[in-house]
Amino acid sequence: MRFAFYGRVSTEDQQDPESSRAWQLTRAQALTDTHGEITAEYFDIGQSRSIPWKRRHQASQLLEDLRNPTRGFNAVVIGEPHRAFYGNQFSLTFPVFEHYGVGLWVPEVGGPVDPTSEAHDLIMSVFGGMSKGERNRIKIRVRSAMAAQAKVEGRYLGGRPPYGYQLADAGPHPNPAKAADGKRLHILARDPVTAPVVERIFTLYLNGMGIFLIAQTLTGEGILSPSAYDPARNRHRSGKAWSKSAVQAILTNPRYTGHQVWNKQRRAETLLDVNDVALGYETKLTWNNREQWIWSDRPTHPAIIDAATFTAAGQRLARRGPTSERLGPRNHHPYVLRSLMVHQQCGRRMQGNWNHGRAHYRCRYPQEYAVANSIDHPLAVYIREDAVLPALDGWLATAFAPARVEENLAALDVTQPHISPEIDVNRAIIADCDRKLARHRAALEAGADPTLVTVWIADVQAEQANALAALQRVAPSQVTPRRRLTRQKITELVNGLGGLLAALHDADPIDKAEVYRQLGLRLTYDHETETVLAEATPRSSVDLVYVSEGGLEPPRP
């Protein structure tokens, strides 16, 4: 038999991927050695077990290869089911193996999983539940330990130090093993350059100055913003000027009182699609309620402001906004081009703004920000949505019209992923070795000299092993590149888009927004010439969707 091996290692495991792959592969080989050989490998690195198979890079490739009659293997072996399956993933995945006639071998059942055996189904379901329980137990243990360390010990638990502080050494790590590796604890220490700026921000705010004016004042005086002062720790930000969000973050940070505060944010898992639970969850950082914050029992580092000042600033922040109560619910206006419109002069996304009963897109840029970034930018730039949509829909309907199929084929074909020559050569060698091995085995069954055929097989296997080793040295993202769309698939995509875009004029705004996003649309507005540059880069995974044309169409897929 020819087997494909599947394994997985997560960055959460803090394991060496090569070591993890080695022991999982060893377990798989111990199960299959007497039955055949492993001819293909699929190994996911840095993928959490909670992610469904379709969203794992190598696992999804394996599921895709099951459809190929010339896939080169007739069974899949898994070295560790705890790492492969989580929750109900086995019950969602195994029917695919059964449909294509590919066996699934697991050490815990001593061979292939029998689709007719209730015992095998129960065992695999138990492993999925154990995997989910193990992950949850680890999460609870880690969070409980961190909460205790923050509250009782006041330990600094990592991350970027707040603006106004710098990190200082606090001695060796209390864990002997980590201390032996040279790891040390850290504590927040007052930064002599930025701590006075924090004090001044609180003073200005409590004296009546607004957040926006504080940001403009600091920028105008040439005081470096947090991201400009410490660019090494703020590579995700490039602004040179102070922003309202930076000032507000300082005014709401309780660590300036000298106490360690933990659990202000959490990684929340939310369903990707409530109508398709099998797609799994996505993780997003979410702010916790203040009641859930963990405060240290005692001060742990030098305070920049006292508790009374912090409380007074919080009370003023809570009183901001209109004094009159809002009558009725807030109106939610549809913005078809939300997140798609970019301002040419500053490169920032333009925000939706509802004025005089119409949708606009606005780029507001205070003069001090523009001066700090050397940009000639008006205070505010507006563009009306209804001035863009007719021309945009007309261009899309023309650009993707079926009559321009050949031109679109050429344009889309050049964007297909490039396959590395090294990968291409080694894959050709492996495929050729598979064909040779099949011929040699056929010759052996036909009565050829076993000694001679064994030598032939050994030579081919050595050649195949060298090619596999060469592939393993290449980055995982290059070993299994994205599959190229066939010319027929591209033709179908373009023809479908042509009919779809012709109906955009009367489509529902929500549907139109989704179509624009699937097309990879990007709009760049130049306020000096009053022109919009439209670019569309359709994704290879784009599917045909329906847009509203009076309620007579079938439901959206």
Rounded CA-CA distance 176/313 in Å is 43
Residue type, 410: A
Evaluate whether 547 touches 554 at the Cβ level (below 8 Å): no
State how far Cα 390 lies from the chain centre. Answer: 34
Phi, psi dihedrals of residue 332, rounded to the nearest 5°? -105, 110
CA distances from 138 to 130, 131, 153 (A): 12, 11, 21
Residue type, 70: T
Q: Kindly provide the b/e burial profile for residues 383-409, where b requires at least 16 CB atoms within 10 angstroms of the residue's own CB.
A: bebeebbeebbeebbebbbeeeeeebe
Predicted TM-score (pTM) of the model is 0.55
- The Cα angle at residue 508 between residues 502 and 512, in degrees rounded to 5: 60
pLDDT along the chain (557 residues), means of 10: 92 72 92 92 88 90 91 92 89 92 92 91 88 86 88 84 90 83 88 94 93 87 86 65 87 92 85 76 83 90 93 87 50 81 85 87 70 67 90 78 60 54 74 80 70 75 78 54 50 56 65 78 90 79 40 39
The β-bridge relationship of strands 37-45 and 2-9 is parallel
Going by C-alpha positions, the residue among 129, 124, 96 that lies closest to residue 112 is 124
Q: Three-state DSSP class for 193?
A: coil
Evaluate whether 298 touches 276 at the Cβ level (below 8 Å): no
Helix (H) or strand (E) holding 341: strand 341-343
Residue type, 498: G
pLDDT in the model for residue 61: 92
CA distances from 397 to 393, 517, 536, 557 (A): 6, 16, 12, 22
Evaluate whether 381 touches 527 at the Cβ level (below 8 Å): yes
Tokens (6 digits) for 256: 């300036």
Question: Please, which residues have CB within 8 angstroms of residue 497's CB and are 6 or more apart in sequence?
Answer: 400, 519, 538
Phi, psi dihedrals of residue 158, rounded to the nearest 5°? 100, 180
Strand partners, 105: 77, 112
Rounded CA-CA distance 380/377 in Å is 8
User: How many CB atoms are located within 10 Å of the residue 505 CB?
Assistant: 14
The β-bridge relationship of strands 521-526 and 341-343 is parallel
Evaluate whether 72 touches 145 at the Cβ level (below 8 Å): no
Q: How many CA atoms lie within 13 A of 9 on its CB side?
A: 17
Question: Please, which residues have CB within 8 angstroms of residue 127's CB and are 6 or more apart in sequence?
Answer: 81, 82, 85, 90, 108
pLDDT in the model for residue 357: 84
Rounded CA-CA distance 278/276 in Å is 5
Evaluate whether 2 touches 72 at the Cβ level (below 8 Å): yes
Question: Please, which residues have CB within 8 angstroms of residue 169's CB and are 6 or more apart in sequence?
Answer: 184, 185, 186, 187
In which residue are the tokens 């209390």 written? 174
Strand partners, 351: 362
Question: Please, which residues have CB within 8 angstroms of residue 4's CB and are 6 or more apart in sequence?
Answer: 38, 39, 40, 41, 42, 62, 65, 71, 72, 73, 75, 76, 77
Rounded CA-CA distance 440/453 in Å is 6
Q: What is the dihedral of CA 334, 337, 343, 344, to 10 degrees?
A: -160
The β-bridge relationship of strands 531-536 and 521-526 is antiparallel
Q: For the chain, percent helix, then strand, then coil, each to nearest 5?
A: 45, 15, 35
Rounded CA-CA distance 270/280 in Å is 8
In eight-state DSSP terms, residue 430 is H
Rounded CA-CA distance 422/368 in Å is 52
pLDDT in the model for residue 548: 37
pLDDT in the model for residue 309: 94
Question: Please, which residues have CB within 8 angstroms of residue 433's CB and are 6 or more apart in sequence?
Answer: 460, 461, 463, 464, 467
Strand partners, 295: 261
